[in-house]
Structure 1
Amino acid sequence: MKKKIWISIGVVVLILVLVGVNVFRTMGKENLTVETAKVEEREITGNVMVPGTLSLSQEDFLYLEPENGEISEVLVKEGDQVEKGTPLLQYENEQLQLEKEQNALSLESAYLRINQIKDQIDALDDKEKDLEDQVGEKEAEETVEAERNQLNTDLKVADLEARQVQLQKETIDEKIGQLEVKSKIVGTVLSVDEDALAGRAQTPILHIGKADEFVVKATISEYDSLKIKEEQPVTLKSDVILDKEWKGTVSKVSLLPVQTENLMGNEDTAVQYPIEVTLDNQDIEAKPGFKLIMDIETEKRKVQAIPVEAVKQDGEDYFVFIVEEGKAIRKDVKLGATSDEFMELTSGLENGQEVIINPPDSLQNGMEVSVK
């Protein structure tokens, strides 16, 4: 009997404890302590994150050109400083040399022919005088005039042939001039590839570049190409060099896209636009080829804004909680651009209203709250 009484007392105590806990939790839920922030005007920036590659600002790659013949001499070595127009390579082409000699003979023959015809025209006056004594003045004049007309025609033809040979000479001379390859940029000879020189590799024979001037190269999508413009500021970071960042400026946005193959291997292609970013400070620890993350600031303006931590999402809709007369009130909002800490508020709240920061999932519309 006593045992049953003690069991009954235990059950009652347990029920009272559970009820007390629930009451305590309910009271806690209905009177949360929250932190708030005001809706106010702030400067907000729009950003685009783009991966890029650190590259030399100017560089040139020279490949073997078999149509020029064989390389007879490399005129520079690794580490040499070169100017624009500095000779780098010399090709040797026996066929071009033979064509040049044949052209010279053809040109000499053409000028000999022209001189012969001119001499024949000059001799017609003496011939006309001799004919006058034989056939009379009128008939002699007619005979010589016919010959003079024919010789003048022959002279024009010979002159045209000489001009054609001269054009051939200029073409051959231009090709021979190209046998000496000159630098297109100012820079340093970064490498000389012996395997490429011997034709054993299809790599650049010479690599020339400005070793102390860097840019970051990247490609952007069609959508981002509408937002990214020249002169926009850029912040750059590296996953390899931690706790470091560099500043730069968008210096080039290509008007024309490059075509990249679709990963699925079909005919569809993704359109990408090349861009370049110039570093404000060239003293950077990274090396050419390093991958960098570029944070490009695409816009900066004054807007009504609220902290990112105040915004919650319900499907495709966004809402916040404000505090009115000690209660949390849910308000649907429309948002615009987003920065790291704030979101642009386009409608739903008035300037100066207080929004709850980091509202807990248990917070309900109309629940009593206390503001810190």
Structure 2
Amino acid sequence: MKKRTIFYSTLTFSLLFIGTNTYLIEKANSKVDREVHVDNWEVSSKDDLAKELPKPGVVTAEDESYIYFNDEFGSFKKFLVKEGDQVSSGTPLYEYEVTDQTLQKSVLKSEVEKLEDEIDSIENTIGDLESLESSLPSVSSDEKEIPIAASALQSEVELKKEIAAKELEVERNESQIDNLERQISDIDSYETTLTFQSSVDGTIKNLSHKLDNPLITIASESTIVTTDLTEEEIVTVKENMNATVQSDVEKATLKGIVTKVSNLPKNDPHLQTDSMYPVEVKIQDDKNNLLPGHHVFLSIITENINGSIVLPVTAIEKDSTGKFVWILSKDGTVEKRKIKTGLEVGGQQQIISGVKAGEYYIVYPDDITALKHGTPFITGIDWNRINWKGLKKLDRATVLENLLVGILERK
């Protein structure tokens, strides 16, 4: 008895289900098979895009200072430092014996006067740069005023860097003057053995024991990352571009900036070899453990877009009129929307115009064969997107009808 009851109940439900399907399909204006089903859709939003040029790099000293010796005014006695020594301004580097005190004193005074003239010229330049800096628009605390332009901010940063570099040059020249005046004082005291001191901070890179010039090479404490670019790559890289530096030594990614792009190849050009162009990147993180000789992974950001609409390239289609995306409009139909694109990076495409933030788009339109402009659409249930408060306001008949349409449309 129970089996018969189950059999007839199942049969009745099946007939009812089939009859309902047939009614909805044959009914005039039926939505079944006249709509497209969209499984994958997303909401458009703003994001950042960066096009990077990855290159291997090596850490090296940012600057090298060269110490020369003129044997016409004396004879070399001995080095007071060795290769690898850390030196600072005022550190004794070598001793030499003066053979003509009068001539040597005259040469030293001439060098002092030359450096003093250079300092005056540099200080005049600093004054001009500071005047130019003060003429730039300043950031105001008044929110009603127009904010400072990005170009003005960039100019101010560059001016500050240039002023700082000039001030450092003045300090080095003043240190060198102190060194020369000390030697003049020793000559006045009838000293015949004089000591030459360093005017810079750094590491002794090389000593010429054959007394060839430069006698001493001092590598600066500050470091840079160098790399070589191909003929195609060099035209895409400019000074002041941002970069990132990674290595096995540093766990964190270090920030950098391109400081030098050579317009000349590293070696003499030759028909049988590719030309390579050296590029320098300054590490902006002062606290790092990278030393000259460390090998790193460098990425130069050649293009950068901030706060733009970004869609996956899978959502973009092309036809004879251009590029377009499929938008899920608020009236429940699919809209074929023409767009203008920009930068593409790693499967992500910048949308310059045609799509606004917050609009829904189809992620994989190629998977929907019946996709046409103005076609109604239905989507699968995504519980995270359901507005439960709004759902409660719908009548039961509307909910049931749309539920049945959704079930029937699934294939």
TM-score by length of 1: 0.48
Between the two structures, name the one with larger relative contact order (CA 8 Å, sep ≥ 6).
1
Q: Which has the higher strand share?
A: 1
What TM-score does the superposition give when structure 2 sets the normalisation length? 0.44
CA radius of gyration, larger in: 1
